[in-house]
Amino acid sequence: MLSDIVNRDNNPIKAHLSHHGCYDGVAKACYETCAEPIAFVNYATVGTDFVITSFAVHPLVTAKEAQLAGDVINSVLEAEAHKLGIRRLLIVLPHQDTAEVIEEYKLQPSVMGLGVINQPIAYKN
C-alpha cells in the first residue's frame, strides 16, 4: 500500500516516461522512494500533438499530491515535446468525442555547433 511504504514528508515526486515509442507512451509520477505510481497518463502522438487518452490518480493521494504529480508529468511531457517538435498537448476526457487543448508548447530553436556566430572559418588543403 502506498500509505504504508511512503513517508510523504520531504519526499520529492519524480516523473518519467515509460513504454514510449514513436506513437505513444506512458508518463508516470512516483515518490522518489517508491516505485508505485501515484499518477500516470497514457498519451499518443498524433501529427504534431500529444493527445492524452487516459489518466489515473492513486486513490490514497491528496489533491495537493495529485496536483504536484500532474505538474511533474507535464514538465516531462513538455521536455519530450521539445525534442520531438510537438506543438500542443490535448486531452480526450471520458465520454467525449473531441480533444481539448491543455497547453501549447513554444518550440525552442536549436543551433548546432559551438554557439559562436559569425566566426571566420579557415580551410586547409
Residue 111 scores a pLDDT above 60: no
10 domain residue, yes or no:
yes
Q: Which residues constitute the domain of residue 76?
A: 2-104
User: Does 62 map to a domain?
Assistant: yes
Domain count, the chain: 1
Lowest mean pLDDT across 3-7, 13-17, 84-88: 3-7
Q: What is the DSSP string of 81-106?
A: HHHHT--EEEE--TT-SS-EEEEEPP
pLDDT at 33: 86
- Residue 109 domain-assigned (yes or no): no
In this structure, of 14-18, 38-42, 106-110, the range with the lowest mean pLDDT score is: 106-110
C-alpha distance from residue 46 to each of 81, 94, 117 (Å): 12, 19, 36
* CATH at 95: 3.40.630.30
- pLDDT of 25 > 50? The answer is yes
pLDDT digits (tens, 9 = 90+) for 45-81: 999 999 999 999 999 999 999 999 999 999 999 999 9
Query: Residue 5: which pLDDT band, with cuts at 50, 70 and 90?
Result: very low
Mean pLDDT of 88-95: 91
The answer to whether residue 24 sits within a structural domain is yes
Q: Does a structural domain hold residue 31?
A: yes
Query: Does residue 113 fall inside a structural domain?
Result: no
Please report whether residue 28 resides in a domain. Answer: yes
